[in-house]
Amino acid sequence: MFIEFGNIKLTRLQLFAWTWISITIYLLNFFIYFSAQNVILIPDIDSTLVILTGLSIASYLGGKMIAKAPVVIDRVIEDKGAHKLLILGRNFGYYLAPMIFIDNAEVKWRLWTNNRIVVDIDEVQIEENSVLEVLREDNICTTKKIREANISCDRAGISF
């Protein structure tokens, strides 16, 4: 619930903790009212509690808005001998069902990390103006011409 892709999401943890603190404070007030007057009354909610809860929700929503970082492709390395493509960049994410397209044809990826993708290109013919598209599960994507930032190698000491 609080961990996403191996990292603790502080905004979720903070919202969860504050929600339970607020519930506890409210229930304590309820039982204090009940024991003092022996009548079931719903106590007023303190305005400070409402303001702090609003700030907690605002920080959670702010964290959700900031989390949508753009995908950036820095370099593409083509290993013709191994029929692989190494894509280096930022904010690829750690998603369950990302997709890679070369000239609108989906290709299979072998390794996907936040800054590196390895793609099998056995059945794909890369042309001079071929376009690579990286699409994350949250519909954030980027496109780049493969030859634009391409380094070609034939197993020249690069392993991926």
Does pLDDT of 124 surpass 90? no
Please give the mean pLDDT across all residues of the chain.
Answer: 79
Does pLDDT of 153 surpass 80? no
Q: What is the mean pLDDT of residues 115-119?
A: 90
* Cβ(43)–Cβ(30) below 8 Å: yes
Does pLDDT of 127 surpass 90? no
The sign of the CA dihedral 28, 30, 33, 36 is negative
Pairing, β 105-107 against β 141-145? unpaired
d(CA 156, CA 160): 12
Q: What percent of the chain has pLDDT over 90?
A: 8
Predicted TM-score (pTM) of the model is 0.54
pLDDT digits (tens, 9 = 90+) for 16-60: 999 999 999 889 888 887 777 777 777 788 888 889 889 989 988
pLDDT digits (tens, 9 = 90+) for 52-91: 889 989 988 887 777 667 788 888 888 877 788 889 998 8
